[in-house]
Structure 1
Amino acid sequence: MRTFVIGDIHGGLKALLQVLNKLEITEHDKLLFVGDYVDGWSDSAQVIQFLIELSEKISCVFIKGNHDVWCEDWLRSEHVDMTWYMHGGKETLESYKGFSQDDKERHLAFFEDMLLYYLDDENRLFLHAGFTSMHGVKKEVYEKTLYFDRTLWEMALTMDSQISKESLIYPKRLKHYKEVYIGHTPTTNFGFNVPMNAVNVWNVDTGAAFKGKLSAMNIETKVVVQSDNLPSLYPNERGRNKD
């Protein structure tokens, strides 16, 4: 079995299909998605429909991102959060035109079943954003932290890679896990168009919501496969122009 972690999609179905085709995915593979499937490009509802169908054929783990929380709330209540609307929600609402009420209810159930984090058999942690508890993700007090926090990544970036995990100054929250995989904060913010690694944290959000690419990484070999830049796949769209 090959296992791949896939970064934030943000409505870019064309990019997702490119990546999966390049990987030559089979029913023996496992896919771990770190969240933010919607908001940005014009295919948000179509991404959700595709992932539902994909999960019926291939082993998939779906982590919930902050944009997914907003979309889930709208599907449940029809309330349009204005922060969501201005950060990609408008495009997601438009993508649902033509989808029936039954479709929307199925999508809502899909969002509700998403995980806030996933820990595999080798003690590798997957979540959307981060966590702050020194006792590990299971002790995080506020659920929102798991899909909004950026301090874990900011901390990892500032660390000296030569510091041993056994050192007294090594952050306790990172000692709990062999590796941590996140999305949420585009690596393009730091001038990188590929996944970034800082100590034992891997960030696989390569800016697909904006001008970047969608990335998938083999968690064993660390080999990365990417789509084209999203604006080239959606030339008549703007995507998200602010975070």
Structure 2
Amino acid sequence: MRTLAVGDIHGGLRGLKDLEQCAQFGPEDRFIFLGDYVDGWSEAAQVIEYLIELSSTNTCIFIKGNHDVWCEKWLATGSVNEVWYNHGGKETMASYEGLSLEDKQRHLYFFEAMKLYHIDTDNRLFLHAGFTSMKGVEAELHTENFYFDRTLWEMALTLNPSINKDSLFYPNRLKHYKEIYIGHTPTINFGEDQPMHRGNVWNVDTGAAFTGPLSAIDIDTKTVFQSEPLKALYPDEMGRNKKK
């Protein structure tokens, strides 16, 4: 039985299906999706439909990303956040054209049920972006940090590899958890198209919204599975490349 942590999908259904073939998804597999299912490529609504179907056959945990927050508000109220619209929201709205009100309502329920974070029985933390409290996620006062914060990853990047978790110099923010899995900040920003590992933090967003592949990691064996780069799977689209 595998547990796969899956990075940011950003409307790339073809990448998700390619990842399914690469990793050979099976009925015993468990999935923890790290958020940002929509915005970027042209099949956001279809990605949500795929995930709803997958959750009917497999154990799935869906973490909420910042793009999901914006899309949820649009589905609930019809209001359009200008930042969202210009960073993939326009493509997401287009993907919903032709869907019935009933289908949109099902998708809204799906967004509303997403978790801001998940801690498993081995004290591994999964969330979209980060947190700032020195006492851990339970003490975080600003819940928007769970899907917006980048300081946790920035801090992890500066860690001296020779400092272990028991050291007085190891950041207290990271000591609360055995491992932390995040998305939100594409690893391609740092010249990497593979999930990056710093300290006890794993970043699984490999830039599928832009020029990178969609990635999943087996959290026990650390085996990485990847789709083809999304730009190759959507040759006639720009994704979010025009909005870097």
TM class, shorter-length: over 0.9
Quote the offset at 1:98 in angstroms: 1.0
TM-score normalized with structure 1 length: 0.99
Q: Which residue of 2 aligns with 1:173?
A: 173
For 2:227, give the aligned amino acid: S
CA deviation vs aligned residue, 1:115-146 (integer Å, no higher than 9, x gap): 00000010000000000000001110011000
Q: Which residue of 1 aligns with 2:19?
A: 19
Taking every aligned residue pair, what percent have the same amino acid on both sides? 62
1:203 aligns with 2:203: yes
Q: Which residue of 2 aligns with 1:98?
A: 98
- Structure-1 separation of matches of 2:137 and 2:21: 33
Q: Which residue of 1 aligns with 2:227?
A: 227
Q: Which residue of 2 aligns with 1:75?
A: 75
- Structure-2 separation of matches of 1:193 and 1:170: 27
- TM alignment of 1:54-203, pairs within 5 A: 54-203=54-203
* Secondary structure of the structure 2 residue equivalent to 1:121: coil
CA deviation vs aligned residue, 1:140-196 (integer Å, no higher than 9, x gap): 001100000000000000010111211112111100000000000000000000000
* Secondary structure of the structure 1 residue equivalent to 2:211: coil
- Structure-1 separation of matches of 2:65 and 2:108: 14
Unaligned runs of 5+ in 1: none
- Structure-2 separation of matches of 1:18 and 1:57: 19
Unaligned runs of 5+ in 2: none
For 1:58, give the aligned amino acid: N
- Structure-2 separation of matches of 1:110 and 1:137: 23
* Secondary structure of the structure 2 residue equivalent to 1:109: helix
Runs of 4 or more consecutive aligned structure 1 residues displaced over 3 Å after TM superposition: none
The count of aligned residue pairs is 243
- Structure-2 separation of matches of 1:123 and 1:221: 16
CA deviation vs aligned residue, 1:78-114 (integer Å, no higher than 9, x gap): 0011110000000000000111000000000000000
For 2:187, give the aligned amino acid: T
* Secondary structure of the structure 2 residue equivalent to 1:125: strand
For 1:138, give the aligned amino acid: E
* Secondary structure of the structure 1 residue equivalent to 2:225: strand
TM-score normalized with structure 2 length: 0.98
- Structure-1 separation of matches of 2:69 and 2:85: 13
